[in-house]
Amino acid sequence: MVKKVYIKTFGCQMNVRDSEVVKGLLLAEGYKLTDDEKKADIVLFNTCSVRQHAEDKVWSALGNIGRSHKSQVTSHKLKKIETIDTGKKVIGIIGCMAQNYKKKVFQRAPNVDFIVGPSDINKIPDIIEKIVHRPSSIVHRTFCEVNDVRPEEIYHTGFREDKKHAYVVISEGCDNYCTYCVVPYVRGRLRHRPFKEILREIREAVDCGITCITLLGQNVNSYHDAGRNINFVGLLRDIACVCGIKELTFLTCHPKDTTKELFEAIRDIPVIKKSLHLPLQSGSDKILKLMNRGYTAKRYLEIVDQYRSIVYNGQISTDIIVGFPGETEEDFKKTFELFRDISFNGAFLFKYSPRPNTQAIELKDDVALEVKKRRHAELLKFQREVSKKKENRR
């Protein structure tokens, strides 16, 4: 009988695309997809580790699967579950949490059959195949090579959830090492996909009716194909020439790598959406330094001014973290004032969450939760008013 697969995706657009890739690979092996977790033979959680809250959602979803199988399970020991519960679903934790926790996932969630980190998603069909056909041959199955280069073929299965819009990964991993961020540890060092493969994927998508493209990477504007000496702006210019594309966007830019040339490209290339997502994170130089962001508040403001002077009516959105270790009222005031003065079109606001392996874990998480909540609420209130005003003006 054909096995049915259910994939639940947590986290960012990169994970949304990775889930699509995994679905494409499994469809090619003859599996069926289902939107109903209860009917699935194989349940995959594509997970996120960016904040504690994202991980908590996965642990609780895993607990819920356990409960629905309680009648079949008489022991908490993994081996016992595998031998007694023969009719149980195959459960896989894939993505960032798999990499972050590795085998510890099995200790906390003994109902999990396998874990696969973001760099190994090409191995998922093979692993599932082995578990389905030889259920008790291996107890822990784990693949988590963080710096592996994904084989290019995985991006070319042709499967896409949306028939008009496509996410296209241009680079994997991150080399910035912002001190709060788990990404370099779970997605590995920065690797750029070859220019010709990105263009091939985009042409394939457009041939299937896709008209809008969003390029994805942790730091898209550092893109570089060394073999061809093509940078991000060169990539944008070539993609824009692909006949049939109506809209081109990209996520996420790092302020330290923005250039006048990039803003001119946004202005000059008609299909590029006139909007920029440029995470600020903090308006205090002291905190920016502790975060290892590589710019000051003054420099960030100069970049925004340059963008706005080049891209007429250009939109700009940002990310802010409140309550980073050592953030005083004075530091927060600087963030609030810069946030207010720039007046963003949109903002994602986060409370600092200590992450294992990161450099900031060494610092004392000394801003009380109540204080984080208040600072978060202040920014949110301001942003809601600004967004409403900007919406009404359009």
The Cα-based distances of 156 to 263, 285, 295 in angstroms read 31, 43, 38
Q: Which residues contact 266 (CB under 8 A, 6 or more apart)?
A: 272, 274, 276, 307, 310, 311, 314
Tell me: does residue 182 bind ligand SF4 (CB under 6 A).
yes
Among ligand 5AD, ligand SF4, none, residue 281 binds (CB under 5-8 Å by kind): ligand 5AD
Taking the complex as a whole, the smallest distance from the CB of residue 187 to ligand SF4 amounts, in Å, to: 6
Tell me: does residue 169 bind ligand SF4 (CB under 6 A).
no
Alpha helices in the chain (DSSP H): 13-28, 52-68, 78-84, 96-101, 104-108, 124-133, 183-187, 195-207, 232-240, 260-268, 285-291, 297-310, 329-342, 369-393
For residues 95 and 323, which CB has a smaller minimum distance to ligand SF4 in the complex?
95
Taking the complex as a whole, the smallest distance from the CB of residue 320 to ligand 5AD amounts, in Å, to: 7
Contact 146, 120 (CB under 8 A): no
**CA–CA–CA angle 280, 176, 326 (5° rounding):** 55
Tell me: does residue 49 bind ligand SF4 (CB under 6 A).
yes
For residues 258 and 353, which CB has a smaller minimum distance to ligand 5AD in the complex?
353
Tell me: does residue 125 bind ligand 5AD (CB under 6 A).
no
The Cα-based distances of 2 to 8, 115, 154, 199 in angstroms read 20, 23, 22, 34
Among ligand 5AD, ligand SF4, none, residue 15 binds (CB under 5-8 Å by kind): ligand SF4
Q: Is 249 left (phi over 0), alpha (psi -120 to 50) or beta?
A: beta
Query: β-strands 224-225, 230-231: how paired?
Result: antiparallel
Nearest to 316 by CA among 377, 284, 379, 273: 273
Sign of CA dihedral 90, 95, 96, 99: positive
Tell me: does residue 43 bind ligand SF4 (CB under 6 A).
no
For residues 180 and 223, which CB has a smaller minimum distance to ligand 5AD in the complex?
180
Stretch that binds ligand 5AD, among 82-90, 209-217, 330-338, 347-355 (CB under 6 A): 347-355
Tell me: does residue 49 bind ligand 5AD (CB under 6 A).
no
Round to whole Å and give the CA distance between 390 and 394.
7
Stretch that binds ligand SF4, among 7-15, 229-237, 318-326, 359-367 (CB under 6 A): 7-15
Tell me: does residue 170 bind ligand SF4 (CB under 6 A).
no
Tell me: does residue 12 bind ligand SF4 (CB under 6 A).
yes
Using CB under 6 A, pick the residue from 47, 221, 222, 353 that binds ligand 5AD. 353
DSSP 11: S
Tell me: does residue 281 bind ligand 5AD (CB under 6 A).
yes
Tell me: does residue 321 bind ligand 5AD (CB under 6 A).
yes
Contact 214, 166 (CB under 8 A): yes
Tell me: does residue 350 bind ligand 5AD (CB under 6 A).
yes
Binding site for ligand 5AD (CB under 6 A): 50-51, 180-181, 279, 281, 319, 321, 350, 352-353, 355
Chain contacts with ligand SF4 (rule: CB under 6 A)? 11-12, 14-15, 48-50, 95-96, 182-183, 186-187
